[in-house]
A and B are shown apart, each in its own frame.
Chain A
Protein backbone atom coordinates (compact mmCIF):
# COMPACT_ATOMS: atom_id res chain seq x y z
CA UNK A 1 0.00 0.00 0.00
CA UNK A 2 1.41 3.36 -1.04
CA UNK A 3 1.89 5.82 1.83
CA UNK A 4 0.80 9.31 0.78
CA UNK A 5 1.24 12.59 2.66
CA UNK A 6 0.05 16.17 2.37
CA UNK A 7 2.53 16.80 -0.47
CA UNK A 8 1.69 13.74 -2.58
CA UNK A 9 -2.03 13.31 -1.86
CA UNK A 10 -3.15 15.68 -4.61
CA UNK A 11 -1.19 13.88 -7.35
CA UNK A 12 -1.68 10.33 -6.10
CA UNK A 13 -5.38 10.55 -5.23
CA UNK A 14 -7.16 13.64 -6.57
CA UNK A 15 -5.35 13.73 -9.92
CA UNK A 16 -5.32 9.94 -10.33
CA UNK A 17 -7.41 8.30 -13.02
CA UNK A 18 -9.72 5.45 -12.06
CA UNK A 19 -10.37 4.09 -8.59
CA UNK A 20 -8.26 4.85 -5.52
CA UNK A 21 -8.91 3.38 -2.05
CA UNK A 22 -7.59 5.67 0.68
CA UNK A 23 -7.12 4.46 4.26
CA UNK A 24 -7.23 7.48 6.61
CA UNK A 25 -5.58 6.55 9.90
CA UNK A 26 -3.84 8.32 12.77
CA UNK A 27 -1.21 7.87 15.48
CA UNK A 28 -2.67 6.24 18.57
CA UNK A 29 -5.90 5.21 16.83
CA UNK A 30 -6.36 1.64 18.01
CA UNK A 31 -9.22 0.65 15.65
CA UNK A 32 -7.06 1.95 12.76
CA UNK A 33 -4.22 -0.31 13.81
CA UNK A 34 -6.61 -3.25 13.94
CA UNK A 35 -7.90 -2.55 10.42
CA UNK A 36 -4.46 -1.95 8.87
CA UNK A 37 -3.40 -5.60 8.31
CA UNK A 38 -6.75 -6.28 6.64
CA UNK A 39 -6.21 -3.29 4.34
CA UNK A 40 -2.72 -4.55 3.46
CA UNK A 41 -4.25 -7.91 2.56
CA UNK A 42 -6.96 -6.31 0.41
CA UNK A 43 -4.29 -4.24 -1.33
CA UNK A 44 -2.41 -7.46 -2.12
CA UNK A 45 -5.54 -9.16 -3.47
CA UNK A 46 -7.01 -6.29 -5.48
CA UNK A 47 -3.95 -4.08 -5.95
CA UNK A 48 -3.56 -5.00 -9.61
CA UNK A 49 -7.03 -3.63 -10.38
CA UNK A 50 -7.29 -0.72 -7.99
CA UNK A 51 -4.85 1.68 -6.37
CA UNK A 52 -4.49 1.52 -2.58
CA UNK A 53 -3.03 4.36 -0.52
CA UNK A 54 -2.88 5.24 3.18
CA UNK A 55 -2.70 8.66 4.77
CA UNK A 56 -1.53 9.39 8.32
CA UNK A 57 -3.93 12.19 9.30
CA UNK A 58 -1.83 13.02 12.38
CA UNK A 59 0.59 14.64 9.93
CA UNK A 60 -2.08 15.91 7.50
CA UNK A 61 -4.91 17.17 9.67
CA UNK A 62 -6.03 20.08 7.49
CA UNK A 63 -5.95 17.90 4.40
CA UNK A 64 -8.18 15.31 6.12
CA UNK A 65 -10.63 17.98 7.30
CA UNK A 66 -10.65 19.35 3.72
CA UNK A 67 -11.72 15.86 2.59
CA UNK A 68 -14.43 16.00 5.29
CA UNK A 69 -12.75 13.28 7.34
CA UNK A 70 -13.08 14.02 11.07
CA UNK A 71 -13.15 10.52 12.50
CA UNK A 72 -10.98 7.44 12.27
CA UNK A 73 -10.69 5.00 10.73
CA UNK A 74 -12.25 6.20 7.49
CA UNK A 75 -11.87 4.36 4.19
CA UNK A 76 -12.73 6.43 1.11
CA UNK A 77 -13.14 5.18 -2.44
CA UNK A 78 -12.31 7.83 -5.05
CA UNK A 79 -12.95 7.65 -8.80
CA UNK A 80 -11.07 10.15 -10.96
CA UNK A 81 -10.46 12.21 -7.82
CA UNK A 82 -14.12 12.30 -6.74
CA UNK A 83 -15.41 10.62 -3.58
CA UNK A 84 -17.62 7.68 -4.61
CA UNK A 85 -18.16 6.00 -1.26
CA UNK A 86 -16.82 6.06 2.26
CA UNK A 87 -16.91 3.77 5.28
CA UNK A 88 -16.52 5.46 8.64
CA UNK A 89 -15.52 4.04 12.04
CA UNK A 90 -17.59 1.00 13.02
CA UNK A 91 -18.82 0.65 9.43
CA UNK A 92 -15.21 0.39 8.27
CA UNK A 93 -14.82 -3.36 8.82
CA UNK A 94 -12.62 -5.59 6.67
CA UNK A 95 -15.65 -7.31 5.14
CA UNK A 96 -17.46 -4.02 4.39
CA UNK A 97 -14.36 -2.59 2.71
CA UNK A 98 -13.96 -5.72 0.59
CA UNK A 99 -17.63 -5.56 -0.43
CA UNK A 100 -17.17 -1.91 -1.45
CA UNK A 101 -14.11 -2.82 -3.55
CA UNK A 102 -15.76 -5.81 -5.23
CA UNK A 103 -18.79 -3.69 -6.10
CA UNK A 104 -16.55 -1.30 -8.07
CA UNK A 105 -14.09 -3.72 -9.73
Chain B
Protein backbone atom coordinates (compact mmCIF):
# COMPACT_ATOMS: atom_id res chain seq x y z
CA UNK B 1 0.00 0.00 0.00
CA UNK B 2 1.16 3.49 -0.77
CA UNK B 3 2.18 5.70 2.11
CA UNK B 4 -0.49 8.09 3.31
CA UNK B 5 1.09 11.27 4.69
CA UNK B 6 -0.55 13.33 7.37
CA UNK B 7 0.07 16.45 5.30
CA UNK B 8 0.99 16.85 1.66
CA UNK B 9 2.18 20.39 0.98
CA UNK B 10 2.17 21.60 -2.61
CA UNK B 11 4.91 24.19 -3.08
CA UNK B 12 8.22 24.85 -1.30
CA UNK B 13 8.26 28.62 -1.03
CA UNK B 14 8.20 30.39 2.35
CA UNK B 15 4.57 29.30 3.00
CA UNK B 16 5.17 25.63 2.20
CA UNK B 17 8.49 25.48 4.03
CA UNK B 18 7.07 27.16 7.16
CA UNK B 19 4.16 24.70 7.05
CA UNK B 20 6.70 21.88 6.69
CA UNK B 21 8.63 23.14 9.69
CA UNK B 22 5.57 23.36 11.93
CA UNK B 23 4.19 20.01 10.72
CA UNK B 24 7.53 18.25 11.07
CA UNK B 25 8.04 19.67 14.53
CA UNK B 26 4.60 18.29 15.51
CA UNK B 27 5.78 14.84 14.35
CA UNK B 28 3.28 14.75 11.50
CA UNK B 29 4.34 12.74 8.44
CA UNK B 30 4.88 15.55 5.98
CA UNK B 31 5.70 15.64 2.29
CA UNK B 32 6.46 18.77 0.29
CA UNK B 33 5.98 18.51 -3.47
CA UNK B 34 7.92 21.10 -5.48
CA UNK B 35 8.62 21.21 -9.19
CA UNK B 36 11.73 23.35 -9.00
CA UNK B 37 14.23 24.18 -6.32
CA UNK B 38 12.99 25.39 -2.94
CA UNK B 39 12.24 29.07 -2.58
CA UNK B 40 9.48 30.01 -4.97
CA UNK B 41 9.62 33.66 -5.94
CA UNK B 42 12.13 34.73 -3.30
CA UNK B 43 14.56 32.22 -4.78
CA UNK B 44 14.92 34.81 -7.54
CA UNK B 45 15.01 37.92 -5.38
CA UNK B 46 18.35 39.64 -4.96
CA UNK B 47 17.70 41.32 -1.64
CA UNK B 48 15.29 40.69 1.24
CA UNK B 49 15.23 43.71 3.54
CA UNK B 50 11.87 43.35 5.22
CA UNK B 51 11.75 39.86 6.65
CA UNK B 52 12.14 40.29 10.40
CA UNK B 53 15.53 38.98 11.45
CA UNK B 54 16.96 38.74 7.96
CA UNK B 55 20.60 39.75 7.72
CA UNK B 56 21.41 43.09 6.05
CA UNK B 57 21.91 42.67 2.32
CA UNK B 58 20.71 39.08 2.49
CA UNK B 59 19.64 37.47 -0.78
CA UNK B 60 16.41 35.52 -1.29
CA UNK B 61 18.20 32.23 -1.97
CA UNK B 62 20.29 32.48 1.21
CA UNK B 63 17.26 33.26 3.38
CA UNK B 64 15.17 30.50 1.85
CA UNK B 65 17.98 28.00 2.27
CA UNK B 66 17.69 28.45 6.03
CA UNK B 67 13.90 28.03 5.75
CA UNK B 68 14.42 24.76 3.87
CA UNK B 69 17.19 23.35 6.08
CA UNK B 70 15.02 23.99 9.11
CA UNK B 71 12.05 22.14 7.59
CA UNK B 72 14.21 19.12 6.62
CA UNK B 73 15.82 19.14 10.07
CA UNK B 74 12.41 18.58 11.64
CA UNK B 75 11.66 15.67 9.36
CA UNK B 76 9.64 17.07 6.46
CA UNK B 77 10.30 15.10 3.26
CA UNK B 78 10.63 16.56 -0.20
CA UNK B 79 9.88 15.25 -3.66
CA UNK B 80 10.66 16.96 -6.97
CA UNK B 81 7.62 16.66 -9.15
CA UNK B 82 5.21 18.82 -11.13
CA UNK B 83 1.63 18.52 -9.92
CA UNK B 84 -0.78 17.95 -12.80
CA UNK B 85 -3.99 17.09 -10.97
CA UNK B 86 -5.53 16.94 -7.50
CA UNK B 87 -8.39 14.93 -6.01
CA UNK B 88 -9.22 16.91 -2.91
CA UNK B 89 -12.59 15.47 -1.83
CA UNK B 90 -12.86 12.55 0.62
CA UNK B 91 -10.75 11.40 3.57
CA UNK B 92 -7.62 10.63 1.55
CA UNK B 93 -6.55 13.37 -0.86
CA UNK B 94 -4.63 12.52 -4.01
CA UNK B 95 -1.96 14.80 -5.44
CA UNK B 96 -1.09 13.60 -8.93
CA UNK B 97 2.35 14.51 -10.24
CA UNK B 98 4.17 13.78 -13.49
CA UNK B 99 6.26 11.08 -11.82
CA UNK B 100 4.05 9.85 -8.98
CA UNK B 101 0.87 10.15 -6.94
CA UNK B 102 1.04 11.35 -3.34
CA UNK B 103 -1.62 10.60 -0.71
CA UNK B 104 -2.42 12.78 2.27
CA UNK B 105 -5.00 13.03 5.03
CA UNK B 106 -4.74 16.77 4.54
CA UNK B 107 -3.38 19.05 1.83
CA UNK B 108 -1.85 22.51 2.11
CA UNK B 109 -1.97 24.44 -1.15
CA UNK B 110 1.11 26.66 -1.19
CA UNK B 111 1.83 26.86 -4.90
CA UNK B 112 2.27 30.62 -4.83
CA UNK B 113 2.19 32.84 -7.87
CA UNK B 114 4.23 33.47 -11.00
CA UNK B 115 5.13 36.77 -12.66
CA UNK B 116 2.35 38.40 -14.64
CA UNK B 117 3.21 38.92 -18.29
CA UNK B 118 2.56 42.05 -20.34
CA UNK B 119 0.64 39.94 -22.87
CA UNK B 120 1.75 41.90 -25.91
CA UNK B 121 2.96 40.68 -29.32
CA UNK B 122 6.62 39.59 -29.29
CA UNK B 123 6.80 39.07 -25.52
CA UNK B 124 7.01 35.29 -25.68
CA UNK B 125 9.32 35.22 -28.70
CA UNK B 126 11.81 37.59 -27.07
CA UNK B 127 11.80 36.02 -23.59
CA UNK B 128 15.45 35.22 -22.98
CA UNK B 129 16.30 37.39 -25.99
CA UNK B 130 15.94 40.69 -24.15
CA UNK B 131 12.70 40.20 -22.22
CA UNK B 132 13.18 38.97 -18.64
CA UNK B 133 11.26 38.50 -15.41
CA UNK B 134 14.36 37.67 -13.35
CA UNK B 135 16.94 40.34 -12.61
CA UNK B 136 19.27 38.00 -10.70
CA UNK B 137 19.33 35.66 -13.72
CA UNK B 138 19.85 38.13 -16.51
CA UNK B 139 21.06 41.52 -15.20
CA UNK B 140 24.71 40.77 -16.00
CA UNK B 141 23.99 40.43 -19.73
CA UNK B 142 23.07 44.10 -19.89
CA UNK B 143 26.27 45.56 -18.50
CA UNK B 144 26.77 48.79 -20.41
CA UNK B 145 23.51 48.46 -22.34
CA UNK B 146 20.18 50.20 -21.98
CA UNK B 147 17.42 48.58 -19.93
CA UNK B 148 13.71 49.29 -19.43
CA UNK B 149 11.77 48.12 -16.40
CA UNK B 150 8.01 47.77 -16.69
CA UNK B 151 6.04 48.38 -13.47
CA UNK B 152 5.80 50.84 -10.60
CA UNK B 153 5.52 48.76 -7.43
CA UNK B 154 8.15 47.82 -4.85
CA UNK B 155 9.55 44.96 -6.90
CA UNK B 156 9.82 47.01 -10.10
CA UNK B 157 11.60 49.93 -8.45
CA UNK B 158 13.93 47.76 -6.34
CA UNK B 159 14.92 45.64 -9.31
CA UNK B 160 15.37 48.78 -11.42
CA UNK B 161 17.77 50.14 -8.80
CA UNK B 162 19.65 46.83 -8.82
CA UNK B 163 19.85 46.98 -12.63
CA UNK B 164 21.42 50.45 -12.57
CA UNK B 165 24.57 48.74 -11.26
CA UNK B 166 24.88 46.93 -14.59
CA UNK B 167 23.08 48.91 -17.26
CA UNK B 168 24.24 52.23 -18.73
CA UNK B 169 20.76 53.62 -18.23
CA UNK B 170 17.56 52.21 -16.74
CA UNK B 171 14.13 53.64 -17.59
CA UNK B 172 11.06 52.68 -15.58
CA UNK B 173 7.97 52.46 -17.78
CA UNK B 174 4.88 52.94 -15.65
CA UNK B 175 1.26 53.25 -16.67
CA UNK B 176 0.48 55.94 -14.10
CA UNK B 177 2.14 59.27 -13.32
CA UNK B 178 3.40 58.22 -9.91
CA UNK B 179 4.98 55.13 -8.43
CA UNK B 180 3.12 52.65 -6.24
CA UNK B 181 6.30 51.64 -4.42
CA UNK B 182 6.62 52.62 -0.74
CA UNK B 183 8.08 56.08 -0.08
CA UNK B 184 11.41 54.82 1.33
CA UNK B 185 12.11 52.96 -1.91
CA UNK B 186 10.99 55.91 -4.07
CA UNK B 187 13.31 58.31 -2.23
CA UNK B 188 16.25 56.02 -2.90
CA UNK B 189 15.25 55.60 -6.54
CA UNK B 190 14.91 59.33 -7.32
CA UNK B 191 18.51 59.86 -6.16
CA UNK B 192 20.01 57.52 -8.74
CA UNK B 193 21.55 59.31 -11.72
CA UNK B 194 21.11 56.69 -14.42
CA UNK B 195 17.52 55.85 -13.45
CA UNK B 196 14.86 57.61 -15.53
CA UNK B 197 11.09 57.44 -15.79
CA UNK B 198 8.61 57.14 -18.65
CA UNK B 199 5.26 58.00 -17.07
CA UNK B 200 1.76 57.14 -18.33
CA UNK B 201 3.15 54.54 -20.68
CA UNK B 202 2.48 50.91 -21.55
CA UNK B 203 4.40 48.52 -23.81
CA UNK B 204 2.33 47.41 -26.81
CA UNK B 205 4.79 45.46 -28.92
CA UNK B 206 8.28 43.98 -28.70
CA UNK B 207 10.41 43.03 -31.69
CA UNK B 208 13.89 42.74 -33.14
CA UNK B 209 16.07 40.58 -35.29
CA UNK B 210 16.89 37.63 -33.04
CA UNK B 211 17.50 39.94 -30.08
CA UNK B 212 15.15 42.57 -28.70
CA UNK B 213 15.90 45.95 -30.31
CA UNK B 214 12.56 47.67 -30.86
CA UNK B 215 9.37 48.32 -28.94
CA UNK B 216 6.18 50.28 -29.30
CA UNK B 217 5.06 52.28 -26.26
CA UNK B 218 1.61 53.82 -25.91
CA UNK B 219 0.74 56.92 -23.92
CA UNK B 220 -2.11 55.91 -21.57
CA UNK B 221 -3.53 59.47 -21.59
CA UNK B 222 -3.44 60.37 -25.29
CA UNK B 223 -3.34 56.89 -26.86
CA UNK B 224 -0.40 58.09 -28.94
CA UNK B 225 2.10 55.38 -29.90
CA UNK B 226 5.80 55.78 -30.41
CA UNK B 227 8.71 53.60 -31.31
CA UNK B 228 11.71 52.99 -29.04
CA UNK B 229 14.79 51.73 -30.87
CA UNK B 230 18.03 50.31 -29.53
CA UNK B 231 21.12 52.48 -29.79
CA UNK B 232 22.82 51.60 -33.08
CA UNK B 233 26.10 50.60 -31.44
CA UNK B 234 24.27 48.44 -28.87
CA UNK B 235 21.93 46.66 -31.28
CA UNK B 236 19.81 45.50 -28.36
CA UNK B 237 18.16 46.53 -25.11
CA UNK B 238 16.58 44.75 -22.17
CA UNK B 239 13.00 44.85 -20.92
CA UNK B 240 12.47 43.56 -17.37
CA UNK B 241 8.83 43.03 -16.40
CA UNK B 242 7.64 43.38 -12.79
CA UNK B 243 3.89 44.01 -12.96
CA UNK B 244 2.62 41.73 -10.28
CA UNK B 245 1.80 38.08 -10.09
CA UNK B 246 -0.69 35.47 -11.18
CA UNK B 247 -1.58 32.64 -8.78
CA UNK B 248 -0.68 29.05 -9.71
CA UNK B 249 -4.25 27.82 -9.53
CA UNK B 250 -5.06 26.63 -13.08
CA UNK B 251 -5.55 23.02 -11.92
CA UNK B 252 -7.77 24.15 -9.03
CA UNK B 253 -10.28 25.79 -11.33
CA UNK B 254 -13.65 24.06 -10.83
CA UNK B 255 -12.41 22.25 -7.70
CA UNK B 256 -12.40 25.23 -5.36
CA UNK B 257 -14.06 28.62 -5.49
CA UNK B 258 -11.49 31.11 -6.80
CA UNK B 259 -11.51 34.90 -6.63
CA UNK B 260 -9.54 36.42 -9.52
CA UNK B 261 -7.70 33.11 -9.55
CA UNK B 262 -6.79 33.24 -5.84
CA UNK B 263 -8.01 30.67 -3.30
CA UNK B 264 -10.38 31.92 -0.62
CA UNK B 265 -9.76 30.74 2.96
CA UNK B 266 -10.93 31.66 6.44
CA UNK B 267 -8.60 32.99 9.16
CA UNK B 268 -7.51 29.40 9.89
CA UNK B 269 -6.39 28.90 6.25
CA UNK B 270 -9.28 26.49 5.68
CA UNK B 271 -10.67 26.30 2.16
CA UNK B 272 -14.24 25.20 1.43
CA UNK B 273 -13.12 21.54 1.29
CA UNK B 274 -12.56 19.84 4.69
CA UNK B 275 -8.91 18.91 5.20
CA UNK B 276 -7.72 21.23 2.44
CA UNK B 277 -5.85 24.38 3.47
CA UNK B 278 -4.13 27.16 1.53
CA UNK B 279 -1.16 29.32 2.53
CA UNK B 280 0.90 32.14 1.08
CA UNK B 281 0.54 34.09 -2.15
CA UNK B 282 -2.00 31.64 -3.56
CA UNK B 283 -4.63 33.00 -1.11
CA UNK B 284 -6.91 35.99 -1.31
CA UNK B 285 -5.14 38.39 1.09
CA UNK B 286 -4.10 42.00 1.46
CA UNK B 287 -0.31 41.64 1.81
CA UNK B 288 1.79 39.11 -0.07
CA UNK B 289 5.19 39.05 1.61
CA UNK B 290 7.59 36.43 2.95
CA UNK B 291 6.52 37.22 6.49
CA UNK B 292 2.79 36.75 5.77
CA UNK B 293 3.44 33.61 3.73
CA UNK B 294 5.41 32.07 6.58
CA UNK B 295 2.66 32.98 9.04
CA UNK B 296 0.03 31.39 6.79
CA UNK B 297 2.11 28.23 6.59
CA UNK B 298 2.38 27.97 10.36
CA UNK B 299 -1.36 28.43 10.82
CA UNK B 300 -2.23 25.96 8.03
CA UNK B 301 0.03 23.24 9.45
CA UNK B 302 -1.34 23.71 12.95
CA UNK B 303 -4.92 23.57 11.70
CA UNK B 304 -4.16 20.51 9.57
CA UNK B 305 -2.83 18.77 12.70
CA UNK B 306 -6.00 19.71 14.56
CA UNK B 307 -8.15 18.37 11.70
CA UNK B 308 -6.35 15.00 11.82
CA UNK B 309 -6.80 14.80 15.60
CA UNK B 310 -10.47 15.75 15.50
CA UNK B 311 -11.21 13.19 12.80
CA UNK B 312 -9.23 10.45 14.59
CA UNK B 313 -7.30 9.79 11.41
A57 and B137: CB pair below 8 A? Answer: no
Of A1-9, A13-21, A27-35, A45-53, the one contacting chain B is A27-35
Residues of B within 8 A of A68 (CB): 129, 210-211
Is A100 close to B, CB under 8 A?
A: no
Of B24-32, B138-146, B305-313, the one contacting chain A is B138-146
Is B132 close to A, CB under 8 A?
A: yes
B36 and A89: CB pair below 8 A? Answer: no
Given contacts A30-B136, A32-B137, contact A70 B238 (CB under 8 A): yes
Residue total for B at the interface (Cβ-Cβ under 8 A): 28
Is B293 close to A, CB under 8 A?
A: no
B141 and A89: CB pair below 8 A? Answer: no
A71 and B37: CB pair below 8 A? Answer: no
Given contacts A68-B210, A68-B211, A70-B238, contact A28 B136 (CB under 8 A): yes
- From 212 to 231 in chain B, residues with beta carbon under 8 angstroms from any chain A beta carbon are 212
Q: Which of A58, A64, A70, A74 contacts B212 (CB under 8 A)?
A: A70
Residue total for A at the interface (Cβ-Cβ under 8 A): 25
Q: Which of B35, B39, B128, B129 contacts A30 (CB under 8 A)?
A: B39
B140 and A30: CB pair below 8 A? Answer: no
Given contacts A29-B136, A30-B136, contact A71 B129 (CB under 8 A): yes
A38 to chain B, nearest CB (A): 9
Is B171 close to A, CB under 8 A?
A: no
Given contacts A30-B137, A32-B137, A71-B127, contact A65 B39 (CB under 8 A): no
A-B contacts besides A71-B130, A71-B134, 7 pairs, CB < 8 Å:
A29-B138, A30-B136, A58-B140, A61-B141, A70-B236, A72-B138, A74-B128
Interface CB pairs A-B, < 8 A, 22: A26-B137, A28-B136, A28-B140, A29-B136, A30-B61, A30-B136, A31-B134, A64-B141, A65-B141, A65-B211, A69-B128, A70-B128, A71-B129, A71-B130, A71-B137, A71-B141, A72-B128, A72-B134, A72-B137, A88-B127, A88-B128, A93-B35
State the B residues within 8 Å of A (CB).
35-37, 39, 43-44, 60-61, 82, 98, 127-132, 134, 136-138, 140-141, 143, 210-212, 236, 238
